[in-house]
Amino acid sequence: MKRIVALLLLSLTLLTLVACKKDNAPEGTVDVAIENAGFHLYVPETTWMSTASSGISGARVYSGEDFSNVNVTVYYPEEVLSAADYWEKKCLQEYTAYYKEFKVLEDKCGDTTLGGLDAKRYVFEGKLEGDVTYRFQQVMTVKDTMVYVFTYTAKAELYDSHLTDVEAMVTNFTFR
């Protein structure tokens, strides 16, 4: 009888440990969100390098030549805003002032989801310095009055080469 009880307790302990697994990362990915973030950001573990050590929930491509990167930022607007309102009232104005030759690629923008919530996708281009054009994709949603913004940044000519990875990151994004 003691042996049966001991085996049951051992089995229960093992099941509890498995159930309490901290991270349910999809196979081949790693969570690069900082420890106290309210979300999980999963990136391919072999081609993307975490930037979480710098206090940023994000990653960049493993390459000396390619500085493509992703990150998630959380904003606390003074008023409750939808993702579309946040884009119109905050992002669009700032980006127009900041980037040279700024343009929104309307045909690539639209409705999507992030972490199971309704979201908006915006794709735009602009020059930061010299003649280098960057392309950006932002997917934003609102949860508990906070605006969560997933941003993918790449040189325009490299943008398409990472879209499969980026779409998987958006799809696998979850809130804690």
What does the buried/exposed string (b/e) look like for 104-139 if buried means 16 or more CB atoms within 10 Å of the residue's CB? beeeebeebebbeeebbbbbbbbeeeeeebbbbbbb
Q: Is residue 163 part of a domain?
A: yes
Write out the two tokens for 87.
């884009």
Quote the CA–CA distance of 140 and 117 in Å, as a whole number: 10
- Residue 1 confidence (pLDDT) above 70: no
Residue ranges making up the domain that contains 131: 68-175
- Residue 75 confidence (pLDDT) above 80: yes
Q: Is residue 15 part of a domain?
A: no
Return the pLDDT at 128: 84
Burial class of 82 by CB neighbour count within 10 A (0 to 12, 13 to 18, 19+): middle
What is the tens place of the pLDDT at every residue in 156-176? Answer: 999 999 999 999 999 999 999
Our count of domains for the chain comes to 1
Q: Is residue 98 part of a domain?
A: yes
What is the tens place of the pLDDT at every residue in 21-56? Answer: 445 889 999 999 998 899 999 999 889 999 887 778
Q: Is residue 22 part of a domain?
A: no
Stated length of the chain: 176
Please, which pLDDT band fits residue 6 given cuts at 50, 70 and 90? Answer: very low
> What CATH number has the domain bearing residue 76?
3.40.1000.10
Return the pLDDT at 67: 92
What is the tens place of the pLDDT at every residue in 114-139? Answer: 999 999 999 999 998 788 999 999 99
- Long-range contacts at 143-146 (CB < 8 A, ≥ 24 apart): 143/38, 143/115, 143/117, 143/175, 145/76, 145/77, 145/80, 146/74, 146/75, 146/76
Q: Is residue 23 part of a domain?
A: no
Q: Is residue 7 part of a domain?
A: no
Q: Is residue 45 part of a domain?
A: no
Write out the two tokens for 166.
């980026």
Q: Which helix (H) or strand (E) holds 143?
A: strand 133-143
Category of 115 on φ-ψ map: left (φ > 0), alpha (ψ -120 to 50) or beta: left
Q: Is residue 124 part of a domain?
A: yes
